C-alpha cells in the first residue's frame, strides 16, 4: 500500500472550486457582484503566473463569510457541490482513483482552497482524508482569517510532512497528481509525480524530468 496524493482544482475537476464558489457567493447575495468577481479573477491570474500571495487571496475571498457559522456555510456548500462541481468531475480522475483503491493505496487530497470546500468535494469522490486551508473560528463564527500553514506551494510540503508524522505514514512509493507549477515542490518530493493537464511551466519541467504527462477529461 502506498500514498496516492491528488491536487483538486484542474486536476480532479475541470475548473477551480474557489472561483466557482466566488460566483456562487455573488449569486446568493453574499458578495457584491461584478467588482468582487473581477478582483477575484485578477488574483487568479496571479496564481496562474505563480506570483500570488495566497494570504491576499484568502483575505479577500473569505470576507463574505465573516460572522457566518460553519453550519450556515455548509448548508449552501452542499447543493453548490452537487449542482456546480459534480458535473465537472474528470472521468479519468475517477478511474485513476478506482485503480489506486483497487491497489489498496491510501488516498489524500491536498489543495490550496478552503477546507470546507475541499472536504465537501473530496467526499463526493469517496475520499475522506484532506489537507487544505484551515479557517479560524471565533466564538463559533468564521473570522475571515486563515489558521496555520497554508497548503500552497512549499506549504503543501510542510503540511504533508506534519501529517505523515501524525499518521506514522511514509512517502515510499507515493504518487502525486497535479496540473500546476505551484505544486512543483511536492511533485519533486514523491517517487511518482504525474503532470495532469499541466500548465506550460509544469509541462516543460515534466518533459525535461521525464515525468508522465496525463490528459484527463
| Residue 33: predicted pLDDT | 84
Query: From the CB of residue 202, how many other CB atoms can be counted at a distance below 10 Å?
Result: 23
Residue 37 CA to residue 171 CA, distance in Å, equals 39
Tens of pLDDT along the chain (217 residues) come to 899 999 999 999 999 999 999 999 999 999 988 899 999 999 989 988 888 889 999 999 999 999 999 999 999 999 999 999 999 999 999 999 999 999 999 999 999 999 999 999 999 999 999 999 999 999 999 999 999 999 999 999 999 999 999 999 999 999 999 999 999 999 999 999 999 999 999 999 999 999 999 999 9
pLDDT at 87: 98
Is 9 one of the catalytic residues?
A: yes
Three-class DSSP category at 110: strand
Domain carrying residue 94: 3-214
Q: What is the pLDDT of residue 61?
A: 95
Provide the CATH number for the domain around residue 130: 3.40.50.1000
When divided into structural domains, the chain yields a total of: 1
Q: Which of 7, 16, 179, 183 is catalytic?
A: 7
CA atoms lying within 13 Å on the CB side of residue 95 = 7
HSE at residue 99, side-chain half, CA atoms within 13 A, is 8
Please give the Cα distance from 107 to 130 (Å, whole number).
9
Show Cβ contacts of residue 115 under 8 Å, excluding neighbours closer than 6 positions: 130, 132, 133, 134, 135
Residue that the C-alpha cell 508524522 belongs to? 165
| From 9, 16, 179, 183, active-site residue | 9
Please give the pLDDT value at position 190: 98
Amino acid at each position: 500500500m502506498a500514498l496516492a496524493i491528488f491536487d483538486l482544482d484542474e486536476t480532479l475537476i475541470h475548473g477551480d472550486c474557489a472561483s466557482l464558489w466566488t460566483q456562487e457567493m455573488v449569486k446568493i447575495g453574499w458578495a457584491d457582484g461584478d467588482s468582487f468577481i473581477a478582483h477575484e479573477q485578477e488574483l487568479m491570474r496571479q496564481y496562474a503566473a505563480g506570483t500570488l500571495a495566497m494570504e491576499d487571496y484568502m483575505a479577500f475571498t473569505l470576507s463574505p463569510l465573516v460572522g457566518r457559522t460553519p453550519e450556515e456555510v455548509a448548508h449552501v456548500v452542499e447543493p453548490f457541490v452537487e449542482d456546480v462541481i459534480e458535473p465537472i468531475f474528470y472521468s479519468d480522475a475517477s478511474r485513476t482513483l478506482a485503480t489506486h483503491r483497487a491497489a489498496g493505496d491510501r488516498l489524500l487530497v491536498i489543495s490550496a482552497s478552503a477546507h470546507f470546500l475541499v472536504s465537501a468535494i473530496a467526499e463526493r469522490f469517496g475520499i475522506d482524508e484532506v489537507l487544505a486551508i484551515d479557517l479560524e473560528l471565533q466564538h463559533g463564527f468564521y473570522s475571515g482569517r486563515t489558521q496555520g500553514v497554508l497548503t500552497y506551494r512549499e506549504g503543501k510540503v510542510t503540511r504533508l510532512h506534519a501529517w505523515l508524522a501524525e499518521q506514522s505514514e511514509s512517502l515510499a512509493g507515493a504518487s502525486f497528481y497535479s496540473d500546476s507549477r505551484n505544486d512543483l515542490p511536492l511533485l519533486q518530493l514523491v517517487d511518482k509525480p504525474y503532470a495532469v493537464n499541466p500548465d506550460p511551466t509544469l509541462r516543460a519541467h515534466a518533459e525535461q524530468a521525464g515525468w508522465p504527462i496525463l490528459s484527463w477529461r
